[in-house]
Structure 1
Amino acid sequence: MTAAAPTDAWAYLLAETGTGPGSPPPVLAAATPSDGLRDRFVATIVGGAVGDALGRPVERWAREDVASTYPDGLRDYVRSPGDGSGPAGTITDDTQLSLEVARWLVAGGVDDVPDAAEFGRRVAAWGPVAIMAGEGSEGSARRLAAGDPWWLSGRPTIGNGVAMRSAAIGLRYQGDGGRIREAVARSGMTTHRHTTGVAGGVIISSLVSHLLAGDGQEPDVAAALDAAVSGLDGVRLEGHPVGAGPATATLVESVRSIESMLHLTTHEVFDHFFNGSRVTESLPCALWLFFRYGHDPERLLVEAVSGGRDADTIAAMCGNLAGARHGLDAFPARWTGDDLEFRDELETLALELYRLWAAERGSR
Structure 2
Amino acid sequence: MATSIEDGAMGCILGGAVGDALGGPTEGRTPEAIRARYGGDVVDFVGPFHEDWQTARPLSPLHKGDGHVTDDTLMVMALANVYGKVRGHLSAYDMADHLVAEIADVVTYVPEFERDTVLVNRLFYAEKYLLLRLRQAHVDPREAGVGNVVNCGAAMYMAPVGIVNAGHPAGAYQEAIEIAGAHQSSYGREAAGVLAAAVAEALRPGATVDSVVAACVALARDGTREAILAVTAAARNVHDWRAAIPVLRDAVRPFDSVGEDYRDPDLDARKPSRKRAIEELPVALGMLVATRGTYLDTVLGGVNYGRDSDSIASMGGAVAGALHGEQAIPAHWAAHIQERSRKDLRAVAVSLAAVAREVFEQDQAQFARRVAAFPGPPVAGTVPV
- TM tier, shorter chain? 0.7 to 0.9
- Give, in whole Å, the separation in 2 of the partners of 1:101 and 1:182: 16
- Give, in whole Å, the separation in 2 of the partners of 1:281 and 1:195: 14
**Residue aligning to 1:255:** 228
Q: Is the 8 A contact 1:125 1:141 kept in 2?
A: no
> Residues 189 and 348 (structure 1 numbering): CA distance in 2 closer, same or farther, change over 3 Å?
same
> Residues 156 and 355 (structure 1 numbering): CA distance in 2 closer, same or farther, change over 3 Å?
same
Counterpart of 1:306 in 2: which secondary structure?
A: helix
Q: TM-score, normalised by structure 2?
A: 0.71
- Give, in whole Å, the separation in 1 of the partners of 2:121 and 2:250: 27
Q: Verify: 1:345 aligned to 2:335, yes or no.
A: no
> Residues 79 and 187 (structure 1 numbering): CA distance in 2 closer, same or farther, change over 3 Å?
farther
Q: Is the 8 A contact 2:142 2:179 kept in 1?
A: no
Q: Verify: 1:206 aligned to 2:197, yes or no.
A: yes
> Residues 304 and 178 (structure 1 numbering): CA distance in 2 closer, same or farther, change over 3 Å?
closer
Q: Verify: 1:142 aligned to 2:118, yes or no.
A: no
- Give, in whole Å, the separation in 2 of the partners of 1:307 and 1:85: 20
Counterpart of 2:167 in 1: which secondary structure?
A: coil
Structure ID, larger Rg: 2
Cα deviation for residue 291 of structure 1 reads: 1.2
Matched AA of 2:344: E
Cα deviation for residue 162 of structure 1 reads: 1.7
Q: Verify: 1:119 aligned to 2:111, yes or no.
A: no
- Give, in whole Å, the separation in 1 of the partners of 2:361 and 2:299: 35
Matched AA of 1:229: V
Q: TM-score, normalised by structure 1?
A: 0.75
**Residue aligning to 2:86:** 108
| Structure 1 counterpart of 2:13, from 40, 45, 50 | 45
Cα deviation for residue 293 of structure 1 reads: 1.5
Q: Is the 8 A contact 1:141 1:191 kept in 2?
A: no
Relative contact order higher in (CA < 8 Å, ≥ 6 apart): 1
**Residue aligning to 2:31:** 63
Q: Is the 8 A contact 2:26 2:34 kept in 1?
A: yes
- Give, in whole Å, the separation in 2 of the partners of 1:253 and 1:85: 36
Cα deviation for residue 357 of structure 1 reads: 2.1
Counterpart of 1:151 in 2: which secondary structure?
A: coil
Cα deviation for residue 41 of structure 1 reads: 0.9
Cα deviation for residue 361 of structure 1 reads: 4.2
Q: CA RMSD in A?
A: 3.1
User: What pairs with 1:159-238 in structure 2 (closer than 5 Å)?
Assistant: 159-177=151-169, 179-192=171-184, 194-215=185-206, 219=208, 221=210, 223-232=211-220, 237=222
Matched AA of 2:333: W
**Residue aligning to 2:382:** none
Cα deviation for residue 101 of structure 1 reads: 1.5
**Residue aligning to 1:284:** 282
Matched AA of 2:95: F
Cα deviation for residue 206 of structure 1 reads: 1.0
> Residues 227 and 305 (structure 1 numbering): CA distance in 2 closer, same or farther, change over 3 Å?
same
Q: Is the 8 A contact 2:34 2:40 kept in 1?
A: no
Matched AA of 1:255: I
Matched AA of 2:131: A
> Residues 138 and 220 (structure 1 numbering): CA distance in 2 closer, same or farther, change over 3 Å?
closer
Q: Is the 8 A contact 1:58 1:308 kept in 2?
A: yes
**Residue aligning to 1:98:** 76
Matched AA of 1:225: V
- Give, in whole Å, the separation in 1 of the partners of 2:71 and 2:360: 32
**Residue aligning to 1:328:** 326
> Residues 259 and 129 (structure 1 numbering): CA distance in 2 closer, same or farther, change over 3 Å?
closer
Matched AA of 1:116: A
| Structure 2 counterpart of 1:270, from 245, 249, 252 | 249
Cα deviation for residue 171 of structure 1 reads: 0.6
**Residue aligning to 1:10:** none
The count of aligned residue pairs is 311
Cα deviation for residue 350 of structure 1 reads: 1.5
- Give, in whole Å, the separation in 1 of the partners of 2:25 and 2:32: 14
Counterpart of 1:339 in 2: which secondary structure?
A: helix
Counterpart of 2:278 in 1: which secondary structure?
A: helix
Cα deviation for residue 294 of structure 1 reads: 4.6
Structure 2: gaps (5+ residues): 55-60, 105-117, 239-243, 263-269, 271-276, 365-385
Q: Is the 8 A contact 1:40 1:328 kept in 2?
A: yes
> Residues 309 and 220 (structure 1 numbering): CA distance in 2 closer, same or farther, change over 3 Å?
closer
Q: Is the 8 A contact 2:176 2:192 kept in 1?
A: yes
> Residues 260 and 38 (structure 1 numbering): CA distance in 2 closer, same or farther, change over 3 Å?
same
Cα deviation for residue 50 of structure 1 reads: 0.8
Cα deviation for residue 124 of structure 1 reads: 5.9
Larger mean Cα displacement after TM superposition, 49-58 or 71-80: 71-80
> Residues 69 and 132 (structure 1 numbering): CA distance in 2 closer, same or farther, change over 3 Å?
farther
> Residues 295 and 71 (structure 1 numbering): CA distance in 2 closer, same or farther, change over 3 Å?
farther
Matched AA of 1:100: A
Structure 1: gaps (5+ residues): 1-30, 238-249
Q: Verify: 1:129 aligned to 2:119, yes or no.
A: yes
Cα deviation for residue 172 of structure 1 reads: 0.4
